[in-house]
Structure 1
Amino acid sequence: MLCLDEATVCKPVVEKELEFYECLPGELHPFTPEYYGVIKVKVLPDGEYISLVGTAPNNYTPKLSSNFKRLRFRRSGSLEQDVGAAGMFEEDAGCNSHATATGMNPWVFRCHRDHLATLAATIEAKNTPQNFLVLENLTWKFRLPCILDLKMGTRQYDDNDSLAKRQRKMVKVVTTTSGKLGVRVGGMQVYQVTSGRFLCRNKFYGRTLSAGGFSAAVRHFLHDGTRLRVEVLPPLIRRLEALVDVLENQTSLRLYTTSLLLLYEGEPVQQPTDKLREKRESMERSSSLEDRAEDIDSDGSSSGLERSSSSGSLSAILVGKEVVTPEDRRGTAATSARKMNRRRSSSCCTEEISAEEPLTDVRIIDFAHSTHKGMSDSVVYSGPDNGFLFGLENMIAILKSIHRDYR
């Protein structure tokens, strides 16, 4: 992918994905990247380098930032990166026992290098610009973005795929957690405060995991090297539950081969227990001052200061360790019961004071094989996408289990 600035990414146009963004159901907008339009990108020789040039869509003004990291593509095929991010990323030892620190996620760097070589050769050969979608960069508001990329659903092929491709995709499903849980790890990066670096995993790691290994990988994603970031779990769970509610009401949507991104801010923060303690002490000091004001009131009457506790809304999640089975997705009665249980588990009790929640996000990406009734596809489905929902509800169950174990 390319980018206009730190707030955007630009990916080559696939006509079906373009159509999906242009007629996206309104209920999905909060769970997808913002779509800004299409740009044409052309290749220009620039000495020993190749420049990729495009003009921003009319409805978008690029942001200028000194923190913007750039890659430079040599005509020889090699890729260079700014030294500003040097040493911030490394592949986890589980992926590569000889990992070294690099300036960007190693898998991302490899994909960029290979794709840019193909892109430059294609555009130069045809001597015509290529169209790119301009989308929101979901990480740009984060200083140290921790990202879990989840390949969702129990079906990973398109209606237009060949029989051979369908068979390859089905093998990946039945031999990975996609078949058992409806979700598998497609990649991750998690910031470690102990080293000051991101540890990275790629899609091949995700394909090796068992159901138990998947749960362990999620815990790994939530651990910063010193502690598990339990405070990010309630907002992530609430966001995922909101997505379930939306998808259960979509009667023709199919999100085949899409990914679900879970993001949270990796920058070290004050632990919630410390924040709660500080707020309680502040309230006690304030209450003490009010008591004094009443004691010195000259006429002996109340000073009129009203005492009110600041009630919070930090949800306590009550969970079990079960995961959803494909059969659980069948029947409206079961669906209604699950929705009621989700609501109860998210609001069963509250704490008097809530800590400020960290920055988190949940979004769906990659719609080149998605469809709904508003598109021009020959096949129109009915009912919700139970394969995607199967994975989504298992993901929620796993996060709730972790929250119960660590809170």
Structure 2
Amino acid sequence: MEMTGFRHQVGGHFGLFECTGHVAKPVNAREMAFYELLTDNIRTFTPAYCGRVLVSTSISEKGELTLSTPSMFDCHKRLPHTPPSTSRPKKMRFRLKNGKVMVDLDKNENTFAGECQAKVVHRLLKNGPSWFILLENIVENFEMPCVLDLKMGTRQHGDDAPAHKVAAQMRKCAESTSALLGVRIVGMQLFDGPSGAFNFVNKLEGRKIDQQQFYDYFYLYLRACGEKRAKILKKRLEAIRNVLLEAEGFRFFSSSILVAFDAIGREDNIRVQMIDFAHSTFPGFCQDALYYGADDGYLQGVETLIAQLEFFLESFPETPESCASR
């Protein structure tokens, strides 16, 4: 089974790939264990976890690279497949040129995704077959996915992080909106109808965004969402908040909330998922340090988002200059 680059990746450190309704990411032992041991009340808010698979790569005489796995997958419940439209872009392909992995991107595509994925493909070529975890692709049937990746919490480093990593992550939090709001933008893509292209915000830009700019970017995403989707998003975040208030000892360091909707799809269709658990923990997990109570830093970020949604819905359909202007 062939894997191709996941063109709608907007955040993260490692390249993501896709095949048969799944997103595949390089295995992290802690994250895989977290998914396997996750309690049902929190699992409700995560993409379906479908195990792991061994991925290898091959090179053609022309330098074309193919990623493949020997397995077929039919695990989580998938939505009925929608035949691709003529506007849907071709699959992301990789090739080797002068010893460097290149990715074929269309004009106006997200170069961040291609760069992340090329690094992973390079490691596969260097080190041989590697394990990937498989997660439900929540945008599989979206024609024009509008995606927002939000890094949650006031702390991003795990307990196992070395001193230099702790210092670097604390600095990122202090210099971004993470410390103040409990959330920052990791990445965003929005479909622009008039131009027929996506507009992007990458993680480096997200770290530079101040409080007012964060509100403005979030408001821009909500305007694209529309009122119906925004109401669903608010209810979903409130449900996440209620579950996390009761999640004794859980910590979701460096975890994200991923929001996605189809720019040309149904007005009531929006997905909201908790993702990225490489540094998460709970009592009894991997002999980690014990924490008590709820994850206040993560909850602060959720409260920030809910408050902005309330402001947006109160002002809809008016268009104030900034949702920070209270």
The answer to whether TM tops 0.5 is: yes
Residue deviations 1:92-150, cap 9 Å, x none?
xxxxxxxxx2xx32211221123322332222xxxxx2111011112113221111110
CA gap 1:64/1:242 in 2 versus in 1, 3 angstroms: closer
State the Cα distance separating 1:80 from its structure 2 match: 4.0
State how far apart, in whole Å, the 2-side matches of 1:34 and 1:138 are: 9
AA aligned to 1:201 is: V
Partner of 2:119: 114
Whether the 8 Å contact between 2:143 and 2:265 is mirrored in structure 1 is no
Aligned to 2:27: 13
Q: Which moved more, 1:234-243 or 1:53-62?
A: 53-62
**Scaled by the length of structure 1, what TM-score is found?**
0.67
For residues 398 and 5 of structure 1, the distance between their equivalents in structure 2, rounded to whole angstroms, comes to 35
- Find 2:289's aligned residue among 379, 382, 387: 379
State the alpha-carbon separation in 1 of the partners of residues 110 and 18 from structure 2. 20
Aligned residues: 294
Paired letter, 2:28: V
The alpha-carbon deviation at position 256 of structure 1 amounts to 0.4
Percent of residue pairs bearing the same amino acid type:
32
**Taking structure 1 as reference, are residues 230 and 4 closer, same or farther at Cα in structure 2, changes over 3 Å only?**
closer
Q: Bigger shift: 387-396 or 189-198?
A: 189-198
Would the aligned equivalents of 2:24 and 2:132 in 1 still touch at CA under 8 Å? yes
Structure 1 portions without partners, runs of 5+: 88-100, 124-128, 270-356
User: 1:181, 1:259 → 2: CA distance?
Assistant: 14
Aligned partner of 1:70 in structure 2 is 91
| Aligned pairs for 1:207-286 within 5 A | 207-224=207-224, 229-267=226-264
Contact 1:23 1:374 in 2 (8 A): no
Match of 2:102 among 79, 97, 101: 79
Q: 1:187 to 1:368 in 2, by over 3 A?
A: same
Q: Which letter does structure 2 place at the counterpart of 1:395? A: L
Q: CA deviation at 1:217?
A: 0.7
**Partner AA of 1:168 in structure 2:** A
**Residues in 2 aligned to 1:206 and 1:200: alpha-carbon distance in whole angstroms:** 11
Q: Structure 1 counterpart of 2:276, which letter? A: D
Q: Which structure's residues are more often helix, by fraction?
A: 1
2:184–2:206 Cα contact (<8 Å) kept: yes
1:52 counterpart (56, 61, 67) = 67
2:307 matched to which residue of 1? 397
1:38 aligned partner, one-letter code: R
Greater share of residues in strand: 2
Shift of 1:401: 0.8
Per the alignment, in what secondary structure is the counterpart of residue 31 of structure 1?
coil
Residue 64 of structure 2 aligns with an amino acid whose one-letter code is Y
What is aligned with 2:204? Answer: 204
Q: CA deviation at 1:268?
A: 6.8
User: Aligned-pair distance for 1:65?
Assistant: 6.9
CA distance in 2, matches of 1:71, 1:44: 16
**8 Å Cα contact 2:103/2:114 also seen in 1:** no
Equivalence for 1:370? 280
Deviations 1:289-322 (A, max 9, x none): xxxxxxxxxxxxxxxxxxxxxxxxxxxxxxxxxx
Counterpart position of 1:290: none
State the distance in 2 between where 1:68 and 1:21 align.
Answer: 31
How far the C-alpha of 1:50 sits from its partner, in A, is 2.6
Name 1:148's counterpart in structure 2. Answer: 148
Q: Is the 8 A contact 1:4 1:56 kept in 2?
A: no
Q: Aligned-pair distance for 1:223?
A: 3.6
Contact 1:5 1:64 in 2 (8 A): no
Task: Give the secondary structure class of the aligned counterpart of 1:79.
Answer: strand
**Bigger Rg over Cα:** 1
Letter in 2 for 1:153: G
DSSP-derived class of the 1:17 partner: helix
Q: TM-score, normalised by structure 2?
A: 0.83
Distance 2:261 2:68 in 1: 32
| Separation (CA, whole Å) in 1 of partners of 2:89 and 2:16 | 13
**1:116 alignment partner AA:** V
What secondary structure does 1:361 align onto?
strand
**Separation of aligned partners in 2, 1:230 and 1:6:** 32
- 8 A Cα contact 2:103 2:118, kept in partner: no
CA distance in 2, matches of 1:113, 1:4: 14
Letter in 2 for 1:238: K
RMSD across aligned positions (CA): 2.3
Alignment of 1:155-170 (within 5 A): 155-170=155-170
Q: Which residue does the alignment assign to 1:40?
A: 54
Q: Deviations over 1:141-193 (max 9, x none)?
A: 32211111101100110101111110111111111110110000101001112
Contact 2:82-2:141 within 8 A present in 1 as well: no
